[in-house]
Structure 1
Amino acid sequence: MPTVLGQNQYGKAETRVVRVTREGPVHHIRDLNVSIALSGAMSDVHTKGSNAGVLPTDTTKNTVFAFAKEHGIASAEDFAVRLARHFVSGQETIHTARIRVEEYGWDRIPADGDAAHSFVRRGQETRTAQVTYHGQSNGHGGQGEQWQVLSGLKGLVVMNTTDSEFHGYVKDRYTTLPETRDRILATEVNACWRHAGRPEGDKPDWDASYERARGHLLAAFAGTYSLSLQQTLYAMGSRVVDQEPGIDEIRLSLPNKHHFLADLRPFGLDNDNEVYFAADRPYGLIEATVLRDGVTAAVPVDLTNLP
C-alpha cells in the first residue's frame, strides 16, 4: 500500500548551556537545558534523501551557545523567543520552531568578604539516615550492645564559578586535558557521617546536627581556593569533623560535574569564561573518608544504596 509522510520534526535535544555573568567579585549564573524541534518543508529529506532544506542539528546546538554569548540569558522565555524567531526567520524551509527549556535554579552560598561566586542547586538534595543496632537477645543492652548511626545527604549540587585551578598533574602520551588557572568547579555532594556515642543516652537533636553538618560542607566548599577536587573534599570533611565533636567520621563521594568552555571562535566570538557546556558523562569521581585522629574507621558505606 502507498504511504504518505505525516507530522515530522527534527532538532537537537538537551543542549546544556551555562552562562556566567561577572560583575567584579559578584557572579550571576543561568543554567539551561535547551531542546529544539524544527518543522516545515521537510518532506524531501524523508522521501528523497535530499538534505537541501535541512539545517544541521549541530548548527542549532552552536546557535544556543552563540546566542548565550551575544544576547545573554535574561530569562528562559526570552532566550527561547530569540531562538525560535531566529530559526524560522532565517531559513525558508523552517516554518515552525518549538523551543523547550528547563532551567536549574541556584542559590548563593554565603561567603566571607565581597566574594559571591559560590552556589548551591535549589531543591535537589535528599537527606539520608541509616541505623544499625546489635544487642543482646534479652533486649536489655549490656556489653554486647552496639550502635552505628549514620546521617547524610545525596544530590547536593554546588558550584564555584572561579577560585579553582587544575595543573601540575602527571601527563603521558594519552593526556590531552589542558591545564587551567581558572575554571568552574561543580560537584554533587554525596556524604554520610558517623555519630559517636549512644543515641538513646545522649538524646541528640538530629535535625540541628544535620543542618550544622550541611552548613559546614557548604561553607568549606565556598571558602576553599581549590587546586583540585581532592583538596576541596578534604577541606569539607575536615571542617565537619573539626566543628562537630559528635561526629567521628565522614565519607564523601564527589563526581566532578565538568563544565567546558564552549568554543565560539568559529563564529568570531570570544569566550572569556562566560559560556560553558555542562557535560554529564563521563565524569571524574573523587571519594575519600575523613576521620577524627585516633578513631578507627568503620566499614565503608556504599553511598548509592543509602535510603
Structure 2
Amino acid sequence: MTTPAPGFTLGPNSYGKSGVRLVRVDRDTPRHAIRDLTVHTALSGDFDATHYTGDNTGVLPTDTQKNTVYAFARDGIGTVEAFAERLARHFVDTTPSITHARVRIEEHPWTRVGDHSFSSGEGGELRTAEVNYGGGAAAVTAGVRDLLLLNTTDSEFGGFLVDEYTTLPETEDRILATAVTAAWDYATVPADPDKTFHAGRTALLDAFAGTYSLSLQQTLYAVGERILKTVPEAGEVRLSLPNRHHYLQDLGRFGLDNPGVVFQAGDLPYGLIEGTVRREAQ
C-alpha cells in the first residue's frame, strides 16, 4: 500500500535526533576555549512512503543527523545561530526528500578559572537558538531558558479579583522570583548575533531589576518591551515566567517577629505567566 486506506491520511510530521551532546575544545592557543551544546534536529518533507509502507528510501537516519552535528563541529562552532543555520541548510539543500529543517540548540555555560580550566554549576541558565529553513531565507530565533532572577523588594500584588475561594492576602512588599524563558525572533538576522544576544539579555536583566512590579504580568511586558527597544532586529518576544513563590514564615509561635527576612521557597504548585510582546507594524 503506497497510499492511505480510504478515510485516513497522514498529517504534519517530522523526525530527527534530540539531545545530541556536543563539546568542542579550541586548542589553537595555550589558552583553550570550550563550547558545550545540546543540539536537536527535526526534518520534514516527502516521507509518506515510510509511514504508509515502511519504504525508507528518502529517510536520512537520525544517527546520520547526529554524526553530521559532530562533523560540522570539526571546523568550529561560531555563534549558535550560525551553527544551527549551517546544519539546517545542509539537511535541506543536500537531500531532495527533505523540504524543511528545524535545528534547536542550547548552550551550557562554563566559567573560566584558568588557561585550560573551567567551572559550571549544574542546571541554571541556557542560551538558546532555533533556526527554521525550508529554502530561501532562514528564520532565526535567539533567547534564554531558566534564567533565575529575584527581586527582594519593589514588588506588590493586590487589587485582584476575590471570590468565595480566595485566601491569598494582598501584599505591598514581596519577593518576586522567576526562571525566565525568553525567545525573540529576528526579522532580519543581525550582523553580530553574539553581540545582539548579549544586548537582548542585558535589556532583560535591566527591565526586571528596574521595574517596580505590581504584577508579574507587568514585569513580563516591561521585559519584552525593553528587549524590542534594544534589539531592532527583533520582531517579537515570547516570554514564560513561572512565579517562584517565597512565603513569609510565621515565627510568632517561637516568640519571634519576622520583619520580612525569613521565607520558605515554594516548589509546587506555581503560577505561570506567559505572553508575547510584538512590535507594531509600521
**Fold shared, TM-score > 0.5 on shorter chain:** yes
Match of 1:254 among 231, 234, 241: 241
CA shift, 1:134, in A, is: 1.6
CA–CA distance in structure 2, aligned partners of residues 289 and 262 of structure 1: 35
1:242 match: secondary structure: helix
| Superposed CA RMSD | 1.7
Q: Does 1:271 align with 2:258?
A: yes
Match of 1:223 among 182, 190, 210: 210
CA–CA distance in structure 1, aligned partners of residues 122 and 225 of structure 2: 25
CA–CA distance in structure 1, aligned partners of residues 236 and 211 of structure 2: 20
- Aligned residue in 2 for 1:194: 185
For 1:58-86, what per-residue CA distance to the aligned partner results, in whole angstroms no more than 9, with x for missing partners?
xxxxxxxxxxxxxxxxxxxxxxxxxxxxx
CA–CA distance in structure 1, aligned partners of residues 230 and 123 of structure 2: 26
CA shift, 1:122, in A, is: 10
For 1:4-52, what per-residue CA distance to the aligned partner results, in whole angstroms no more than 9, with x for missing partners?
xxxxxxxxxxxxxxxxxxxxxxxxxxxxxxxxxxxxxxxxxxxxxxxxx
TM-score, length-scaled by structure 2 = 0.56
CA–CA distance in structure 1, aligned partners of residues 244 and 178 of structure 2: 5
- Aligned residue in 2 for 1:207: 194
CA shift, 1:263, in A, is: 1.1
CA–CA distance in structure 1, aligned partners of residues 205 and 185 of structure 2: 18
CA–CA distance in structure 2, aligned partners of residues 127 and 293 of structure 1: 27
Match of 2:277 among 271, 274, 290: 290
Higher relative contact order (CA 8 A, sep 6+): 1
Name the aligned partner's letter for residue 192 of structure 1: A
- Aligned residue in 1 for 2:148: 157
Distance 1:263 1:122, change over 3 A: farther
CA–CA distance in structure 2, aligned partners of residues 163 and 122 of structure 1: 30
TM-score, length-scaled by structure 1 = 0.51
Q: Show structure 1 runs of 5+ residues with no match.
A: 1-120, 136-144, 296-307
Q: What is the number of residues matched between the two proteins?
A: 162
CA–CA distance in structure 2, aligned partners of residues 248 and 293 of structure 1: 9
CA shift, 1:243, in A, is: 1.7
Where do 1:92-131 residues align within 5 Å?
A: 124-131=124-131
For 1:118-138, what per-residue CA distance to the aligned partner results, in whole angstroms no more than 9, with x for missing partners?
xxx998200110000121xxx
- Aligned residue in 2 for 1:167: 158
CA shift, 1:147, in A, is: 2.2
Kindly name which structure, 1 or 2, has the bigger radius of gyration based on alpha carbons. Answer: 1
